Structure 1
Amino acid sequence: MLPYYDLPHLVEDDEIDSQQHVHNLRYLQWTLWAAGKHSAAMGWDSKQAAADGLGWVVRKHEITYRRAAFAGDHLVIRTWVSDMDRYASIRKTLICRPADQAVLARVDTRWVYVNLRAHKVVEIPDSVRSLMIQSKTPPMPWTDGTKT
């Protein structure tokens, strides 16, 4: 398994806003979808965790928008866990358009591990920590041989 995850996405007409490009909230949605799919691919069972009263909650998103996406664009949303401390992890995401080798947005998200019943941040257990691969910035999708 690669220490990063690629979510391919075809921009649909209903994702376009009044300015004729993808609405900013869609970038955030794609980021969350990719994070969930990556976590599941690493073995995180979100349903079991929720039943146990545990889960990840976003503390902070920082998004730098660089270029616009348009209907019909084929994108790659590449995500990875770059750092983890006692209570939180940092997940990075690149939203890319391989056709013109453009990075459309860069996203840094701080996730905290939470006891959902007590609504309190708790220490990340070693069993959870071992699932979350930490890695350095991976290559761009158009330079590493990944099919997009």
Structure 2
Amino acid sequence: MSLDYSAAPYVIDISVSTSDVDGLGHVNNAVYVEWMERCAWAHSQHLGLDLDVYRALDRAMAIRRHEIDYLAPARDGERLRLATWIIDSDGKLQMNRHFQLVRPSDGLTLLRARTTFVCIELSSGRPRRMPEAFLSSYGQALIES
């Protein structure tokens, strides 16, 4: 499997289920977005930033924008690996993640994506500066692209 990164990203394994597949016989585009959210959230939890921490800090990272290139279809029963890594942060409000979905059986990249997150205050929903806990935890996962 060949992923596009110079340092180790965070990776989850995915098994495509029948419920992921649409009438065209491949994984529905919306399911890929769900997988990306699952991977990003698992990475945040791995870094020590779970819902309890978000609530205690009254802050969260909310999705502002997705850019997704669907390169090849995934099908029922396939095993996939989805990687994410943080590529940049302004140290104030925003950070960006890359994603890459690979089918290990043939090494084919099925998807590449970039997601922009903005820090919000949970109590108001308004953009707010990232707290120090976010800067240190997400900062340690920053991989130069």
- The residue that corresponds to 1:5 in the other structure is 10
- The residue that corresponds to 1:58 in the other structure is 63
Aligned residues of 2:60 and 2:119 also touching (Cα < 8 A): yes
Q: How far apart, CA to CA, are the structure 1 residues paired with 2:142 and 2:45? A: 15
Shift in Å, 1:117: 1.2
> What is the identity percentage for the equivalent residue pairs of Structure 1 and Structure 2?
27
2:136 pairs with 130, 136, 140, which one?
A: 130
Q: CA RMSD in A?
A: 1.4
Aligned residues of 1:9 and 1:77 also touching (Cα < 8 A): yes
Q: How far apart, CA to CA, are the structure 2 residues paired with 1:77 and 1:7? A: 5
Q: Structure 1 stretches of 5 or more lacking a match?
A: 138-148
1:40 pairs with 27, 41, 45, which one?
A: 45
- SS of the counterpart of 2:137? coil
**Pairing 1:94–2:75 present:** no
Q: How far apart, CA to CA, are the structure 2 residues paired with 1:43 and 1:3? A: 18
- The residue that corresponds to 2:20 in the other structure is 15
Aligned residues of 2:14 and 2:81 also touching (Cα < 8 A): yes
TM-score normalised over the length of structure 2: 0.88
Q: Which amino acid is the alignment partner of residue 135 of structure 1? A: I
Shift in Å, 1:136: 3.0
Q: Structure 2 stretches of 5 or more lacking a match?
A: 1-6
Q: Deviations over 1:24-81 (max 9, x none)?
A: 0011000000000011011112223124421111000111100000011110010011
Aligned residues of 2:57 and 2:131 also touching (Cα < 8 A): no
TM-score normalised over the length of structure 1: 0.87
Task: Report matched runs for 1:16-31 at 5 Å.
Answer: 16-31=21-36
Aligned residues of 2:17 and 2:76 also touching (Cα < 8 A): yes
Task: Report matched runs for 1:48-87 at 5 Å.
Answer: 48-85=53-90, 86-87=92-93
Q: How far apart, CA to CA, are the structure 2 residues paired with 1:121 and 1:43? A: 22
